[in-house]
């Protein structure tokens, strides 16, 4: 009985540790993320809106594949690269509650999770944040928290809002994770 209790306690600590680790990188970068979203919303940062997904993935997770010394890929270019890249795994469409739940759990566990709308559908990428899902009236389901810059309406860019604030149609949004 004691061994079982010790094993259960260890499992809880490992689980809590991964949640805390996810919070650490997000907490450490919260001011930077808010600053980038604010600069995008105010249209004061040159390419800040266009380059936000690439820069944020590098800042948060050290994923430097989308920027070089001269420029960063834009959302539609990242979407094209991810579709061909073996490092990213498609979870499924945002119209599926089970996929949304899985994406939220993976992000809370510290994995990079992104929501992608292709260029054919006004290309955009949001990064799923750790935390509890929130109820979306427009999507009619619980959605993960996200951070993302909108090119079409920079003033509608968000930090720590439901994914549905960035995308109107969940059937056009694919979720991906990098393990």
- DSSP result, 52-68: HHHHHHHHHH---TTB-
Burial of 98 (0-12, 13-18, 19+ CB in 10 A): exposed
- Reply yes or no on domain 2-178 having CATH 3.30.200.20: no
Q: Specify the residue for token string 């960035």.
A: 166
Rounded distance, CA 134 to CA 29, Å? 22
> Could you tell me which of 31, 30, 15, 26 has the C-alpha nearest to residue 129?
26
Q: What are 113's two structure tokens? A: 């999770």
* Residue 143: closest CA among 88, 89, 91, 96: 96
pLDDT tens, per residue, the chain with 179 residues:
333 333 333 333 333 444 444 446 999 999 999 999 999 998 876 678 999 999 999 999 999 999 988 889 998 899 889 988 889 999 999 999 999 999 999 999 999 999 999 766 567 999 999 999 999 999 999 999 999 999 888 999 999 999 999 999 999 999 999 98
- Domain residue limits, the chain: 2-178
Smallest CA-to-CA distance from 60 within 19, 132, 102, 111 is with 111
pTM of the model: 0.84
């Amino acid at each position: 009985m004691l061994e079982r209790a010790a094993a259960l306690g260890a499992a809880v600590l490992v689980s809590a540790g991964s949640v805390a680790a996810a919070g650490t990188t997000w907490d450490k970068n919260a001011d930077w993320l808010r600053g980038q979203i604010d600069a995008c919303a105010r249209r004061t940062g040159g390419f800040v809106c266009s380059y936000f997904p690439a820069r944020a993935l590098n800042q948060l997770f050290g994923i430097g594949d989308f920027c070089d010394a001269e420029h960063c890929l834009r959302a539609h270019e990242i979407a094209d690269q991810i579709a061909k890249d073996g490092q990213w795994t498609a979870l499924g469409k945002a119209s599926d509650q089970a996929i949304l739940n899985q994406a939220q759990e993976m992000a809370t566990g510290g994995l990079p999770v992104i929501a992608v709308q292709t260029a054919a559908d006004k290309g955009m990428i949001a990064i799923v944040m750790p935390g509890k899902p929130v109820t979306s009236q427009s999507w009619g389901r619980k959605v993960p928290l996200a951070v993302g810059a909108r090119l079409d309406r920079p003033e509608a860019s968000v930090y720590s809002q439901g994914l549905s604030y960035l995308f109107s149609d969940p059937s056009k949004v694919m979720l991906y994770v990098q393990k």
